[in-house]
Chains A and B, each alone.
Chain A
């Protein structure tokens, strides 16, 4: 006899269920259930996970969903595939508000069953529901709710069911697998309802019996044979396997009489000729072989349509002038390369196709393409139009409780006020998911060692890892040849985007294709740089065909002048560049890959640098490793190398080797790792390799933990690194103007403007006549260019206001400040004054204070005086304007910060004479000191960055900047502890010893002073990333005054 829970909510009911589908399935199997029916609230989010878990446990998964109709919960259960489609369609319509729940049409759910959970409902409510659903495929679910007089309610419910001729069925309300999870459920209900755990609420559970129960236990509670007979009937009837063996690719555009595989072959051959026509023959021959092999694999895996569709999207993007670039493991594919999806030749860069695809690969591959972030929406719109709105949707991401979010929700549920909640959540890093006990002391620093702290810790532990809500993947677009509603319910996100109910792994398991349409601001920056160059000088070039060995570019990179360059602009990267000294494109690929958590934590950086500089011998544990690790000097740096070692050295199949690579990278499952280790060593032994060597190689490979790049991804990114560096080296004004426009990096505007000045490009202030809506460049001489800040850089000037100004000045230039005030009457006085304060009216009135005075008076008189003149009236005469004091230099800089985010000169300039007398060295001077650590020096600057990466073991890195450059200061843990308060200041004087490598200098700090205490100084500047170096406007104004 079939038996199982008919009404089971998992944690995918989002705070209405406390167990994962996998846990429910396991517990059901332990209790001897033969089936389990998952009925999450308005969704089938857990269906794939349930199916996967059940197939391992040998029980039957059945999918349904809970709806509340006329205040009664109704489970709609799919009988078969068609029923599942119907269910998805109805849920989609409800989510998208196309129908209301009580308007569902049972005739659209012919292959579904309805279980009415009416034990607590009134006869009138049941009647209303019966009128809607009828009694075909409708059952009356009986539950024993374990509350007083449950049996009486069951008797009453059975009477009502017989009255309406509805068969009864045993359908306990299950919200968690076992009684131990009651607390989690209760806490989730409190969070969901916005109440504290001390508040009574009718929806809060009063007992721990909403768990799975064995047949015997439930039969004792509901001793009605019919209810179990009908349960058996339902469970027998329902069967549908949501996990598909076949792929449902989107439909490519293929001419009649041609197959997708023929079409792909044709396009690939055409692309091959374009890419390899002028390439040396050895590479061309290898490429030809590789292409043939890849096409056969793609054909066998039935992925031709997918490649054609991605090619179509990329071609459309290129046609529209939208810059795009393939990344990730797809860059291993020569087919992707010849179809212009990726930009790196897999032969030349020794990329491994098997990391992307191989025969026997499970699931669908990922092709990630970055698009110009500003124009990505255009491509998405086009895709929706091309493939059909009902065949495209975004992939979901399940947002799980991590430590900080769990602390917030748990603390609120405990009833702490919001300021304490905020303080508590700031005590843990945002990324961490470690044991909350590790943070007991930090949390106690906010609330003390009170008993409720223990409750908080317990509550956080209960929540961690459970889903909180459904989010939208950053770019994963699901494309299908069939309407997606047949396979998944579609929801609308807050901003109206269609989102499926499954994440990327589930999508893959269902055989659906996901195409990552990602936005990359650096691509927008590169595109805009080229446009600025072309528009300003008429010069044209193809950035995708620039020589990859440009000495000016590599000189700049080796010197570490890479602020603003893609991926290598951080202080850590600059330090690494000084040691690594890249000389060619392949070095850039390695540079990008070296500075990742995997290689950093695995201790691979220093050996690589030592080997490259000849300080350490290059050795291979076994000759088989040499061809795999030769170009990384014997160091395991790329995911492909892990895969190749497992395949070639340990004799694993490609599939196994790929699993091994994935497992090593993620380092999550220790039991699996142990099994894999045995497999690895046994494999090596069977190839005649000694156990000690096998063990040694395994140890080396297993160090590759954490996030590391695949070579193809590093190569794809290195191309963007090189292009951005090339543009910065050759066209700094245009590049940095575009960079300031798109802000793809980590530095604040002041630092970017300083960098522009260091590269010989003046930064011109906003100007009412010259500034546009975006950053532009202006020629300052025959060969030099300056960056003009846009009107929109002024605080309060929106795109709309900037457009108004530009259109007004297009009629005729403004004559004076009064003319500006009169003609821009739609712009508020506050904004006009901000424009004046910024200095944008200095072309009309050099004194900003005078300009503000005129605006104020004219606006006041415009409101009170009414002129009926045919001509523009005059509201103010020069003679009326009083003599006003001009801004002091310090005031000017302060108002620059306030009005447009950066000063026209670096503030430290104002104090240089005084600092020289105090023997506070400029950063440029520090850079000239030797690096033996013998000299103690003092320097000062405004804080650009503060970083304390978890890998640094308590060291704080503070980067300061003055008018001559920037310097990373290393604050050891003991110094950090001693100067905690001072280090929060935005301008610092630091004493320490100079160390460094090559052109890189850093200061190992021994003493810290607040600069204002030393020189009566300055209050810092706006930080792009926010944080403590953010300008306090009030402070600046008071300082300025």
Chain B
């Protein structure tokens, strides 16, 4: 498992990621493995993230969409 934390582009189909573009590569999403969310402090503008773990053509990727940063590749799983 590698921590990446880099911005990515995500194409969606029916609100679900279908293609991920990262460092010039394009990866198609085969299935959604898991989803979860985190909320920042409700009294400040802290970050809220919606995580999605995906099975892609390049293996398992954990991405999230943040209200502050947009789409981010969080980790890659071996």
Binding site for B on A (CB under 8 A): 146-152, 182-183, 186-187, 197, 205-209, 221, 454-455, 458-459
Instruction: List which B27-72 residues lie within 8 A (CB) of chain A.
Output: 33-39, 41-43, 48, 51
**A148 and B43 contacting across the interface, CB-CB below 8 Å:** no
Q: Which residues of A contact B35 (CB under 8 A)?
A: 146, 150, 221
Other contacts beyond A150-B35, A207-B37, A208-B48: 18, CB < 8 A: A146-B35, A146-B37, A148-B36, A149-B34, A149-B36, A150-B36, A151-B33, A151-B34, A182-B39, A183-B42, A187-B42, A205-B39, A206-B37, A206-B39, A207-B38, A208-B37, A209-B37, A458-B43
Q: Which residues of A contact B34 (CB under 8 A)?
A: 148-152
Q: Which residues of A contact B36 (CB under 8 A)?
A: 146-150, 207
Q: In whole angstroms, how far apart are the Cα atoms of A186 and B33 in the complex?
A: 28
Among B33, B34, B37, B48: residue with most chain A CB under 10 A: B34
Interface size on B, residues (CB 8 A): 12
Among B33, B36, B37: residue with most chain A CB under 10 A: B36
Q: Which residues of B contact A146 (CB under 8 A)?
A: 35-37
Minimum CB–CB distance for A452 against chain B, Å: 9
Q: In whole angstroms, how far apart are the Cα atoms of A873 and B65 in the complex?
A: 93
Q: Which residues of A contact B43 (CB under 8 A)?
A: 183, 197, 454-455, 458-459
Residue of A whose beta carbon sits closest to that of B62: A148
Residue of B whose beta carbon sits closest to that of A179: B39
Q: Which residues of B contact A186 (CB under 8 A)?
A: 42
Q: Mark B7-39, 1 if CB is under 8 A from A, else 0.
A: 000000000000000000000000001111111
Q: In whole angstroms, how far apart are the Cα atoms of A963 and B43 in the complex?
A: 58
Minimum CB–CB distance for A18 against chain B, Å: 12
**B38 and A206 contacting across the interface, CB-CB below 8 Å:** yes
Q: In whole angstroms, how far apart are the Cα atoms of A150 and B38 in the complex?
A: 13
Among A151, A152, A182: residue with most chain B CB under 10 A: A151
Binding site for A on B (CB under 8 A): 33-39, 41-43, 48, 51
Minimum CB–CB distance for B1 against chain A, Å: 12
Q: In whole angstroms, how far apart are the Cα atoms of A170 and B54 in the complex?
A: 23
Q: In whole angstroms, how far apart are the Cα atoms of A797 and B34 in the complex?
A: 71
Q: Which residues of A contact B38 (CB under 8 A)?
A: 206-207
Q: Which residues of B contact A205 (CB under 8 A)?
A: 39
Q: In whole angstroms, how far apart are the Cα atoms of A467 and B8 in the complex?
A: 45
User: 8 closest A-B pairs (Cβ-Cβ)?
Assistant: A183-B42, A207-B37, A455-B43, A151-B34, A207-B39, A146-B36, A146-B37, A208-B39
Q: Which residues of A contact B41 (CB under 8 A)?
A: 197
Q: In whole angstroms, how far apart are the Cα atoms of A187 and B42 in the complex?
A: 9
Minimum CB–CB distance for A988 against chain B, Å: 45
Minimum CB–CB distance for A224 against chain B, Å: 15
Minimum CB–CB distance for A215 against chain B, Å: 16
What are 17 pairs between A and B in contact, CB < 8 Å? A148-B51, A149-B34, A149-B36, A150-B34, A152-B34, A182-B42, A183-B43, A186-B42, A206-B37, A206-B38, A207-B36, A207-B38, A208-B39, A208-B48, A209-B37, A221-B35, A454-B43
Q: Which residues of B contact A455 (CB under 8 A)?
A: 43
Q: In whole angstroms, how far apart are the Cα atoms of A149 and B51 in the complex?
A: 11
Interface majority SS on B: helix, strand, loop or mixed? strand
Q: In whole angstroms, how far apart are the Cα atoms of A455 and B41 in the complex?
A: 11
Minimum CB–CB distance for A213 against chain B, Å: 13
Q: In whole angstroms, how far apart are the Cα atoms of A182 and B48 in the complex?
A: 13
Q: Which residues of A contact B51 (CB under 8 A)?
A: 148
Q: In whole angstroms, how far apart are the Cα atoms of A459 and B43 in the complex?
A: 8
Q: In whole angstroms, how far apart are the Cα atoms of A146 and B34 in the complex?
A: 9
Q: In whole angstroms, how far apart are the Cα atoms of A208 and B41 in the complex?
A: 11
Q: Which residues of B contact A152 (CB under 8 A)?
A: 34
Minimum CB–CB distance for A644 against chain B, Å: 52
Minimum CB–CB distance for B17 against chain A, Å: 14
Q: Which residues of B contact A187 (CB under 8 A)?
A: 42
Minimum CB–CB distance for B67 against chain A, Å: 12
Q: Which residues of B contact A459 (CB under 8 A)?
A: 43
Q: In whole angstroms, how far apart are the Cα atoms of A183 and B43 in the complex?
A: 8
Q: In whole angstroms, how far apart are the Cα atoms of A209 and B35 in the complex?
A: 11
Residue of B whose beta carbon sits closest to that of A145: B36
Minimum CB–CB distance for B48 against chain A, Å: 8
Minimum CB–CB distance for B57 against chain A, Å: 21
Q: In whole angstroms, how far apart are the Cα atoms of A582 and B5 in the complex?
A: 83
Minimum CB–CB distance for B75 against chain A, Å: 11
Q: Which residues of A contact B39 (CB under 8 A)?
A: 182, 205-208
Q: In whole angstroms, how far apart are the Cα atoms of A559 and B23 in the complex?
A: 94
Q: Which residues of A contact B42 (CB under 8 A)?
A: 182-183, 186-187
Residue of B whose beta carbon sits closest to that of A208: B39
Q: Which residues of B contact A151 (CB under 8 A)?
A: 33-34
Q: In whole angstroms, how far apart are the Cα atoms of A182 and B37 in the complex?
A: 13
Residue of B whose beta carbon sits closest to that of A147: B36
Q: In whole angstroms, how far apart are the Cα atoms of A197 and B42 in the complex?
A: 10
Q: In whole angstroms, how far apart are the Cα atoms of A221 and B35 in the complex?
A: 8
Minimum CB–CB distance for B44 against chain A, Å: 8
Q: In whole angstroms, how far apart are the Cα atoms of A146 and B36 in the complex?
A: 4
Q: In whole angstroms, how far apart are the Cα atoms of A187 and B41 in the complex?
A: 11
Minimum CB–CB distance for B64 against chain A, Å: 11
Q: Which residues of B contact A454 (CB under 8 A)?
A: 43
Among B35, B41, B43: residue with most chain A CB under 10 A: B43
Q: In whole angstroms, how far apart are the Cα atoms of A221 and B36 in the complex?
A: 10
Q: In whole angstroms, how far apart are the Cα atoms of A977 and B51 in the complex?
A: 58
Q: Which residues of B contact A206 (CB under 8 A)?
A: 37-39
Q: Which residues of B contact A148 (CB under 8 A)?
A: 34, 36, 51
Q: In whole angstroms, how far apart are the Cα atoms of A197 and B33 in the complex?
A: 32
Q: Which residues of B contact A149 (CB under 8 A)?
A: 34, 36
Q: In whole angstroms, how far apart are the Cα atoms of A150 and B43 in the complex?
A: 27
Minimum CB–CB distance for A771 against chain B, Å: 60
Minimum CB–CB distance for B28 against chain A, Å: 20
Q: In whole angstroms, how far apart are the Cα atoms of A205 and B38 in the complex?
A: 9
Q: In whole angstroms, how far apart are the Cα atoms of A149 and B1 in the complex?
A: 15
Minimum CB–CB distance for A703 against chain B, Å: 42
Minimum CB–CB distance for A910 against chain B, Å: 58
Minimum CB–CB distance for A126 against chain B, Å: 23
Q: In whole angstroms, how far apart are the Cα atoms of A149 and B42 in the complex?
A: 24
Minimum CB–CB distance for B12 against chain A, Å: 14
Q: In whole angstroms, how far apart are the Cα atoms of A205 and B42 in the complex?
A: 11
Q: Which residues of B contact A221 (CB under 8 A)?
A: 35
Q: In whole angstroms, how far apart are the Cα atoms of A208 and B36 in the complex?
A: 10
Q: In whole angstroms, how far apart are the Cα atoms of A150 and B37 in the complex?
A: 11
Residue of B whose beta carbon sits closest to that of A452: B43
Q: In whole angstroms, how far apart are the Cα atoms of A182 and B42 in the complex?
A: 8
Q: In whole angstroms, how far apart are the Cα atoms of A454 and B45 in the complex?
A: 13
Minimum CB–CB distance for B7 against chain A, Å: 22
Among B34, B37, B42, B51: residue with most chain A CB under 10 A: B42
Residue of B whose beta carbon sits closest to that of A185: B42
Q: In whole angstroms, how far apart are the Cα atoms of A151 and B60 in the complex?
A: 15
Residue of A whose beta carbon sits closest to that of B16: A220
Residue of A whose beta carbon sits closest to that of B51: A148
Q: In whole angstroms, how far apart are the Cα atoms of A205 and B36 in the complex?
A: 12
Q: In whole angstroms, how far apart are the Cα atoms of A183 and B36 in the complex?
A: 18
Q: In whole angstroms, how far apart are the Cα atoms of A147 and B39 in the complex?
A: 11
Q: In whole angstroms, how far apart are the Cα atoms of A610 and B41 in the complex?
A: 60
Q: In whole angstroms, how far apart are the Cα atoms of A498 and B71 in the complex?
A: 57
Q: Which residues of B contact A197 (CB under 8 A)?
A: 41, 43
Q: In whole angstroms, how far apart are the Cα atoms of A458 and B35 in the complex?
A: 30
Residue of B whose beta carbon sits closest to that of A144: B35
Residue of A whose beta carbon sits closest to that of B49: A207
Residue of A whose beta carbon sits closest to that of B41: A197
Q: In whole angstroms, how far apart are the Cα atoms of A146 and B64 in the complex?
A: 13
Q: In whole angstroms, how far apart are the Cα atoms of A168 and B25 in the complex?
A: 42
Q: In whole angstroms, how far apart are the Cα atoms of A148 and B42 in the complex?
A: 20
Q: In whole angstroms, how far apart are the Cα atoms of A186 and B37 in the complex?
A: 15
Q: In whole angstroms, how far apart are the Cα atoms of A208 and B33 in the complex?
A: 21
Q: Which residues of B contact A209 (CB under 8 A)?
A: 37
Minimum CB–CB distance for B20 against chain A, Å: 19
Minimum CB–CB distance for A151 against chain B, Å: 5
Minimum CB–CB distance for A611 against chain B, Å: 56
Q: In whole angstroms, how far apart are the Cα atoms of A459 and B42 in the complex?
A: 10
Minimum CB–CB distance for B23 against chain A, Å: 25
